[in-house]
Amino acid sequence: MVALALSLGAGCATSRWADEPGKAVPVSFAANEEAGDQFLSALTSAREANGLPAPVVTPSYQSEIRNFAEDLQAGKTSVPGAERAITTWGRTRFQTKVVAWALDCGGPTPEVPEPLVKTPSAVVSFAAAHFRPQSAGTEQCAILVVSVQPH
């Protein structure tokens, strides 16, 4: 999982999900909130295990990034499309370089990118979406994350 997270953070990796809009999945705010809370808890715990402070979550941007997650859940975009969109959005909103990830939250524990665990300070915006790619037989879960890139 760490190798996959590192490859995602490299910026040249391809998504594990096809670049195809999906089928709409009924919105479950509770399920999305739970997945987001699990991601934040896992990230915070991993950072604490490395002697680093909890990540800084940008409350004012949470509702904005949630719009991209809602588009993914509604089948209006693909995971790679959402990653491209949040990268552009993040650069504009944070006015600096950012790193964006679409992380799998469908397993027992959500993915946590190594760069977010190891950087001295982590400033993030994130939102979860449950979605179903056209080529997949089941619903899946992704956390869309934008982080300010450390200098």
81-140 per-position pLDDT tens digit: 999 999 999 999 999 999 999 999 988 888 999 999 999 999 999 999 999 988 888 889
Q: What is the pLDDT at residue 133?
A: 86
Residue 12 falls inside a structural domain:
no
Residue 19 falls inside a structural domain:
no
Domain limits for position 56: 27-148
Residue 45 falls inside a structural domain:
yes
Which has the closest alpha carbon to 63: 33, 43, 35, 87? 33
pLDDT top residue among 140 and 6: 140
| Domain count of the fold of the chain | 1
Residue 20 falls inside a structural domain:
no
Tell whether the model's pLDDT for residue 150 goes beyond 80.
no
Residue with tokens 């391809």, as numbered in its chain: 14
Residue 74 falls inside a structural domain:
yes
Task: For the chain, give the mean pLDDT.
Answer: 88
Q: What is the pLDDT at residue 27?
A: 75
Which has the closest alpha carbon to 104: 58, 140, 64, 62? 140
Residue 3 falls inside a structural domain:
no
Residue 46: CB atoms within 10 A of its CB come to 17
Are 146 and 99 in contact, with CB atoms under 8 Å apart?
A: yes
CATH of the domain at 95: 3.40.33
